[in-house]
Structure 1
């Protein structure tokens, strides 16, 4: 492909010939032919076959928003001739990253690396990779695509938070409730055996020490069950940055629970996004799901999501609109603890308050961590 410089030289050569030939200037013809010959030679230079082995790696493939992600490019010259003037062009969403590849002698290899943009959250396609080969004078260029596109997952940022504890009655091991999930039992003490007790609950060590058949007394433990509701209405936020902060807040609250192996549900204006039940690695799934969340004009207000939340446990509602506090306040009696996080610049009057609801104004994640209940 002829570059702008090549077309410019070709046009200038034609103009020189058109202006000088009628006047009998032989030098004009020589200059015109030389210019056109240079453009033709550049085109032939780029058409020459290049045996290149190209491989690109993206590391890491999952990164928090704003953290560095790097593409490592390996280029090997498998041909018999030196190759120079190589330029690699990689695309990452709407951004094109350009990097010069050093000259490659025959049978030699080069490795170059470059940063990928990670400011925007989402599932980002990296590539396809284009390798441009140009002539020494920049008059012609040939682009060849290598390999396939890779996927970079730019996930929400998080800060360490303490899970919100729910429940109304404590025992030796923590919170207790009749509404505890099946199987969430914990040791609460010893007592003498009575007819009807299961033999699998006999504490044989205490029995041998006391000479009396002793059994373990178990109490159901109410695991800190948390519901995180993210307001995804476009009208609730002043811009993209405010919504990205809201996603970061929701991710931080949900991951704090999931990392401690406790149940958490994440709801948005489009319905339930995730129901983690306290298994290993579910905090990673929380981040992966929230990576793909977008705000929308068709999203339902938080009160619709709260209707699916059931009752009990802790509620965290994240929004950029002060009016969403009314939705949390209307259901505060259904939860043991209710937290409303409003993202964005703080209101001049401190914003509205509601009885039974803890309100946090967060302009960034640092303010969230400082105001989070402990």
Structure 2
């Protein structure tokens, strides 16, 4: 279609034709025909050239955290020489980058930075490419390249100190507490190979006897299991900022437990996430990148469903916007299946509820006024160690 300059040329050409009809000057008609022909030829040129453009995009990294900067590299290639090429690449929800090149022959590379302000999943592209004729009278816009996904994880705050857990499953009557789980996994059984299994776990002696691949099934030690439960009830968060603090608290707990040798699993709500094969830590962070609050969520039903799945282990972490009877219900239903329970609270809770949690043996961590968790976590962990030592 004509550009703004092209429409102006068509307007001038029309005016000149009117003047030619009125005055009969040949020069007026010649100029009008020249302008009309220039626009028509420009339309033909851009129509033939656009099919020769391809676009590829690379994100580095494809996953980032709030506050990080991602580099996006866009490469535009053309099989024939193009003039006046404009590329607009949008990161939907964060901004648009615009590049212009006078001539594109060989592959041209452009880079831009994306500042990840908020967590979430952002679509990048497809890009909009505009090709104009050499005189800038005609242009054609079209989409090029694919749509990429930029995943922004919540900000992860480093924490200090791990909750005290017992070294073995209470079912076998272990008595000595430890401050960190034993790393690795325990041997559980042998089974036949399934597509997607790690070949490093093939049990070769058994495979040779049965003439088929046999895999060593491993099991995470009881004391290394951890469950992080994020309260997504909208009623517990008076403002959106409070929920963001809770999400960051859950991310900090998962990252800290993972680095400390635990195998943390995140639970948000039925249908939002669930146990899947693969890296649990990666799955948890992917969920936290996009999780939102839910109104009128049946908290009791959610907890009962979760308990029926047979959860249990060393540490239970419950992150909420405020202490209420829901926190006590969590303690009653799930706390008995874990050696240690940690409750992370964004806002102030009722004094009676807070006292009841402490009497039940829960470690309570309060977020600071600025939403930071590290000071409260460290203080709560040190206090729990002192209590355990005194006991």
Same fold (TM over 0.5): yes
Residues 269 and 54 (structure 1), Cα distance of their counterparts in 2 relative to 1, 3 Å cut? closer
Tell me the equivalent position of 1:291.
Answer: 289
Tell me the equivalent position of 1:60.
Answer: 61
1:154 to partner: Cα distance: 2.1
Which structure would you say has the larger Rg? 1
1:249 to partner: Cα distance: 1.7
Instruction: Name the SS for the 1:223 alignment partner.
Output: helix
- In the aligned structure 2, how far is the partner of 1:351 from the partner of 1:135? 75
2:366 pairs with 355, 360, 363, which one?
360
Contact 1:268 1:305 in 2 (8 A): no
Contact 1:313 1:336 in 2 (8 A): yes
Tell me the equivalent position of 1:370.
Answer: 375
1:372 to partner: Cα distance: 0.9
Instruction: Name the SS for the 2:166 alignment partner.
Output: coil
Tell me the equivalent position of 1:249.
Answer: 249
Q: Please identify, of 56-65 and 155-164, the stretch whose mean Cα deviation from structure 2 is larger.
A: 155-164
Residues 223 and 352 (structure 1), Cα distance of their counterparts in 2 relative to 1, 3 Å cut? closer
Tell me the equivalent position of 1:267.
Answer: 267
- In the aligned structure 2, how far is the partner of 1:96 from the partner of 1:116? 8
1:368 to partner: Cα distance: 0.8
Instruction: Name the SS for the 1:39 alignment partner.
Output: helix
- In the aligned structure 2, how far is the partner of 1:288 from the partner of 1:230? 14
- In the aligned structure 1, how far is the partner of 2:70 from the partner of 2:365? 35
Which runs of 5 or more structure 2 residues have no equivalent in the other structure? 168-173, 189-220, 382-391
Tell me the equivalent position of 1:74.
Answer: 75
- How well do the aligned residues superpose, as a CA RMSD in angstroms? 4.1
- In the aligned structure 1, how far is the partner of 2:30 from the partner of 2:239? 61
Residues 94-146 of structure 1 show CA distances to partners (whole Å, capped at 9, x for unaligned) of: 4562332434464x332111224633433333222332112355432213433
- In the aligned structure 2, how far is the partner of 1:42 from the partner of 1:32? 16
1:174 to partner: Cα distance: 5.7
Which runs of 5 or more structure 1 residues have no equivalent in the other structure? 185-220
1:170 to partner: Cα distance: 5.7
Instruction: Name the SS for the 1:159 alignment partner.
Output: coil
Residues 269 and 300 (structure 1), Cα distance of their counterparts in 2 relative to 1, 3 Å cut? farther
- In the aligned structure 2, how far is the partner of 1:261 from the partner of 1:348? 31
Residues 95 and 222 (structure 1), Cα distance of their counterparts in 2 relative to 1, 3 Å cut? closer
* TM-score, length-scaled by structure 2: 0.66
Residues 372 and 174 (structure 1), Cα distance of their counterparts in 2 relative to 1, 3 Å cut? closer
- In the aligned structure 1, how far is the partner of 2:287 from the partner of 2:352? 31
Residues 86 and 332 (structure 1), Cα distance of their counterparts in 2 relative to 1, 3 Å cut? same
Give the length in aligned residue pairs: 322
- 2:367 paired with 1:340: no
Q: Please identify, of 114-123 and 23-32, the stretch whose mean Cα deviation from structure 2 is larger.
A: 23-32
Residues 16 and 337 (structure 1), Cα distance of their counterparts in 2 relative to 1, 3 Å cut? farther
Q: How does 1:281-320 map to 2 (within 5 A)?
A: 281-297=279-295, 299-301=297-299, 303-307=300-304, 308-309=306-307, 313-320=314-321
Contact 1:129 1:147 in 2 (8 A): yes
* TM-score, length-scaled by structure 1: 0.68
Residues 222 and 269 (structure 1), Cα distance of their counterparts in 2 relative to 1, 3 Å cut? closer
